[in-house]
Structure formats: C-alpha cells, structure tokens
Amino acid sequence: FSGSYTLEGQSLAFGKLLHTMKACEETVAGQEAIILTGLQKVESWEIDGNQLRLHYPDGFLMYVVATE
C-alpha cells in the first residue's frame, strides 16, 4: 500500500491510503484492512528502543524491529 502523511513534532496524520487490488487470502486481506483503518486514525507517534508506536483514540499500533 502507499499514501501520504503529515508530520509535525509528535503529531502524525495519514492522507488517503491506497492498496493493491490483487487477490490475497481472506485472512491477509482482513489484517490489511485492520492496519489501514488504524493508520487512518493515527494522531501521534513515539519510538521506544526498537518499537514504533502509532497512537490513535482507540489504542495504538506497535511495530517492533526484529533481528534474526
């Protein structure tokens, strides 16, 4: 997927997010929908060690950098 964003200090807002129309498993499509919906609601962000937290009114999305 792709899209635009605006970053001002700790404030973060995503513009319209686009995704491919390729067919994928229903489970993967559902996960993608959850992530895209969450990104559209993001209001702020923070980095703590190897974690990126994107905060929105209902909670947050957390991305963790993992090493093999």
pLDDT in tens, 22-61: 666 767 777 887 888 888 889 999 999 999 999 989 888 8
Q: 44-48 and 2-8 as β-strands: parallel, antiparallel, unpaired? A: unpaired
List, in order of start, the domains of the chain with CATH numbers.
2-64 (2.40.128.270)
0.85 surpassed by pTM = no
Q: How far apart are CA 65 and CA 10, in angstroms?
A: 20
> Structure tokens of 16?
């319209």
Helix, strand, or coil here: 41? helix
